[in-house]
Amino acid sequence: MDALTRRLLDIVTYRRLAFLLSAMPLGLVWFVALVTVWSLCVGLVVTPLVIPVAIGLALMTRGFAAVEAELARSLLEVPAAAPAPPPGGGRFWARMRAQFGLGFWRAQGYLMLRWFLGFPVAIIFLSLLASAVGTIFAPVWVPFLHGGAHLGFWRPHTFLQCLAIVPLGLILLPATLLMVNPVARMFGLIASAMLPPGTHPRPFPSSQQVGWPAGESPGVGSRPSRVPPRRALRAHALFDGSLLLVLVLIWAVSPGGYFWPVWVALPLGLVLGIHAWFVLMDEQDLALRVHGNAALTGSVGVTGAISLFLICVWAISGHGYFWPIWPMLGLAMVLAAIAAAGMLGTPGRTELTERIETLESSRAGAVDLQDSELRRIERDLHDGAQARLVALGMSLGMAEQKLSSEPERVGELLAEARAGAEHALRELRDLARGIHPPVLADRGLEAALASLVSSTPMPVELTVNLHRRPAPAVETAAYFVAAEALTNAAKHAGAGRVQIRIEERTECLLVTVHDDGRGGADSEGNGLRGMRSRVEALDGTLALSSPPGGPTTIRAELPCES
Amino acid sequence: MRVVIAEDLALLRDGITRLLRDNDIEVVAAVGDGEALVREVVARRPDLAVVDIRLPPDFHDEGLRAALAVRRHAPGTAVLVISQYVEPTYAEELLADRGGGVGYLLKDRVMHVADFLEAVRRVADGGTALDPEVVAQLFARRRQNDPLDRLTPREHEVLGLMAEGRSNAGIAEALVLTVGAVEKHVQSILSKLDLPQSATDHRRVLAVLAYLQA
C-alpha cells in the first residue's frame, strides 16, 4: 500500500499524464498542419512549386519532431531527438534526398501517431479523470442538478445517495492514475524508437536516476540508446489491440447498431502498418536492397499503407465512385519523384553518413582507450618492475663490493635482491593479466571467467551459454566487461550477490552482469567509459541501469562477426 | 635423481639445468618443446620431468598437455609444471589422475633454491607441490557459513601448507614448530572440516583440495 501511495504521489506519474494529455492540442495541430501541407504537395506534384512546399514540409516535420522529442525527453525521460538536419553541401538533388531520409519518415509516422493514437488515449484519460473527480465531489454538486446524475442503472439525486457513490470515484481515480504508467511506457518506447537519438550522445535528464525501474527497460541506459525496435512494435500492436477491444466492448454494451469502432481501427491500422514497415526495413536492411535508397523504401511502405487505408475507407463508406484513385495517383507521382531523385543522388547517402559518424566516434573511443591503456602500462612498468630491477641491481652491486670487506653483510643484501626480484615478477604478472589473461587465450571465456569468479570474495553465479568460441577480440571484450563489472560490484556497490550471464544470440554475444549492490553507478566514470569504448570499438552497445539503491545491471551486446 | 627439462627460453633452461646439477641432480635432457619432452621421457625414463607451461608452437598451454601426455606414455614419471602465472583449473587437471608425483609452481619459486629443491625431491618421491598462489586463490573463494572461519589463524596457515603438499615435518620446519604441535593442529583441522585421516601426504592434499574446491 505504501508503494502504491508513493507511486500515486510521485511527480513522475503526473509528468507522464501531462505527456499523454498533451496529445490533444499537439496531435490536433500536427495532424491539421501535416495533412494540409501533404495535400498541397500532392496537388502541386506536377508543378515545380512542389519543391519549396516539400522543403517546407521537411522543415516543419523536423520542427514538430523537435518539440515532441523535447517533451518525450523531459516528461517521459526516454532518449529521443528530432531527425538530424542533412549535412550541408553536395548537389541539390542529393540534399533534397537527404531531407527525406529515414529520420523524416520516422518523425512523420510519430507525429501522425500522436494524433491517431495519442488523441483517443488522451480523451479516454481525460474522461476517466473527469468522471472520477466528478463522482468524488458528487455530494457537493449533484443535489443541485435538475434530475440528478445518470449512472445508467441508477439515478442518485439526494445528498446521501450521492455520498454512496463517492467510493466509486475514490477507486476510479487511483485506478486511472495507475494506468498512466504502463501507457506512458508504451509511448516512451515508441518515442525512442521513432525519434532515435542517433549517434550523437546528447544529455537528457538522468534517466537512470528517475527513469524506469531496473530490468523493465534495459535499452534505456546511461547513454541514449535505442529501445529494441521489435519490442516497441509489439507494445504498439498490443496497445492498439487492447484499445480496439475496449471500444468493441463499449459498442457491444451500448445500444448503437452502427459498428463505429471500425473508424478507429482503420487509422490505428494505418499507423501500425507504417511502423511495422520501418521496423522491417531496419531489421532486414530493406533499404540496401532498393538501391540503398531509404527514402524510396520508406515511402513505398507509407504509400502502400495510405492507399490501402483509402481503399478500405472507400469500401466501408458504401463503394460508389472510386475517389481514392486521385490521391493514389498523387502518391504514385511523389513516389516517382523520390525514385528519380534517388537515381540522381548517391545511393544511401544519409544512412552511410550516419554509419560513418557512428564508426568515427567508436573508432575515436577505441584509439583513446588504446592510448590510455598504453600509458597505464608504461606508467606501471616505469614505477614498478623497472624501479625494482634498478634496486635489485644496486643490491647486487653492493653485495659484490662488500664481498671482500664485509662478507657477513653479503647474505643480507642477496636476500634483499631476491625479494626485489620476486616483487618485480609479481607486478609483471599482474600487469600481464590485466593486458590479456593467459587462461583466456588458453582455454576460452568460460574457463577465464570461472577462474576470475573463483578468486572473487563473494558469491557469483556464472552462466555461460556458448556453442562455439567467439572471435578473440569479442572474447576479450566480453571478459573485461564482466571483470570490470565484477570489480565495481565488489568495490563500489558493496554487492552481496552477482550474476554473470554470457549468452550466444544469432548475431551477437550478450553479456549481462547483475548485482544487488547500492547502485548509482557513474556512467561517466573511468571504468564504465573504458568498458563502453571496448564494446563500441567492436560496434557493440552497452546499456547500464543503476538507480540509487540498486540493483545494477550492465548489458553488453557484442556483434559476433567482428 | 634423473630429470628431463622442457623450457623454450634458453636462458631459463640453462639456469635450471645449472641449478639442479649444482645440487647433484642429474639432468639427462633439456629440450625446447612438448613433443621432444615426451620423446625424451619415453626414451630415457627419468624420475621427474620439469615442464614450462607455455611452449611452442602456439605458446598456450602446450606444456601442460605435454605433462599430461608424459603421465600417459610413461606412467610413474613425476611431473613438475612451472609457469609465470598459476590457474587453479590447471592444478585441478594435473591432479586429476590422483597418481601423485605432481607439482605446479610459479617460476619465481626457483629463486628460493632450498625450497625449490625440496619441492623437486618431494614431487620425484611421489608427493605433491602446489604453489602457495594456487592455494591462496582457492582460499579466496568464499562460501556461505564458511567452516574455514572456524579455524584459528594458525590452523589456516597449517591448512595452506597441507594444501601445498608439505609433510608434517615440512610444515613444522616452515612454521618453526615441533612436529607434535603440527600433528595436533592437523587433527583439529581435520575434525573441524570433517575430513578423513589419510595414509599419505598426497592423499591428504587431494582431500584438502577437494574440500577447497567444493
Would the CB atoms of A439 and B87 count as touching at under 8 Å?
Answer: yes
Largest pairwise CA distance in chain B: 52
Q: Look-up: residue for cell 616452515?
A: B174
pLDDT digits 0-9 by tens, A26-54: 888 988 898 888 888 888 877 888 888 88
Chain A residue with the nearest C-alpha to that of B212: A454
Structure pTM?
0.54
Contact A526, A532 (CB under 8 A): no
CA distances from A530 to A362, B61, B144 (A): 12, 30, 33
| CA-angle at A64, arms to A58 and A70, nearest 5° | 130
Our CA dihedral for A55, A58, A59, A60, rounded to 10 degrees, sits at 120
- Across the interface, whether the CB atoms of A442 and B85 are under 8 A apart is answered no
Nearest CA in chain A to B134: A455
Q: Mutating which of A414, A431, A443, A454 best tests the B interface, going by the most B Cβ atoms within 10 A?
A: A454
A231 touches chain B (CB under 8 A): no
pLDDT in tens, chain B (214 residues): 999 999 999 989 999 999 999 999 999 999 999 999 999 999 999 999 999 999 988 888 899 999 999 999 999 899 999 998 888 888 888 888 778 899 999 998 998 899 999 999 999 999 999 999 888 888 876 566 677 888 899 998 999 999 999 999 999 999 999 999 999 999 998 888 888 887 777 788 888 887 887 6
Judged by DSSP in three states, A544 sits in strand
- Indicate the pairing of strand B2-6 with strand A552-559: unpaired
User: Does A450 reach chain B within 8 Å, measured CB to CB?
Assistant: yes
Residues of chain B contacting A455 with CB distance shorter than 8 Å: 137, 140-141
- Residue of A425, A439, A486 best to disrupt the B interface, most CBs of B under 10 A: A439
In chain B, which residues have their Cβ closer than 8 Å to the Cβ of A422?
A: 108, 111
Q: Supply the pLDDT for residue A207.
A: 34
For position B130, what pLDDT does the model report? 93
Low-confidence stretches of chain A (pLDDT < 70) are 1-4, 7, 86-91, 93-95, 97, 143, 145-157, 197-228, 256, 282, 284-295, 334, 337-338, 341-351, 561-562
Whether A423 and chain B come into contact, CB under 8 Å, resolves to no
pLDDT of residue A338: 66
CA B14-B17-B20 angle, 5° bins: 150
Cα–Cα distance for residue pair B198/A527, rounded to 1 Å: 48
Contacts A–B by Cβ distance under 8 A: 48
The DSSP string of A514-541 is EE-S-----TTSHHHHHHHHHHHHTT-E
Contact B166, B201 (CB under 8 A): yes
Residue A498 near residue A462, CB atoms below 8 Å:
no
CA distance B181 to chain A (A): 29
Q: Is the ipTM of this complex over 0.95?
A: no
Whole-number pLDDT of residue A88: 57
DSSP string across A93-131? HHHHHHHTSHHHHHHHHHHHHIIIIIHHHHHHHHHHHHH
Q: What is the CA radius of gyration of chain A?
A: 31
Residue with cell 504514385: A332
CB contact under 8 A, B142 and A426: no
C-alpha B147/C-alpha A385 separation (Å) is: 38
- CB-based contact A429 B85, cutoff 8 Å: yes
CA distance A493 to B59: 38
* pLDDT score of A206: 32
User: In sequence order, which residues have a C-beta less than 8 Å from that of residue A273 and are 6 or more positions away?
Assistant: A301, A305, A308
**CA atoms of A437 and B85, how far apart (whole Å):** 9
Residue pLDDT, tens place only, A394-435: 889 889 888 888 888 899 999 999 998 988 998 898 888 888
Domains and CATH numbers, chain B: 2-130 (3.40.50.2300), 141-213 (1.10.10.10)
In the prediction, which pLDDT does A151 show? 57
**Å between A215 CA and nearest CA of chain B:** 27
Interchain proximity A458–B141, CB inside 8 Å: no
Give the alpha-carbon dihedral of B9, B15, B21, B24, to 10 degrees.
-120
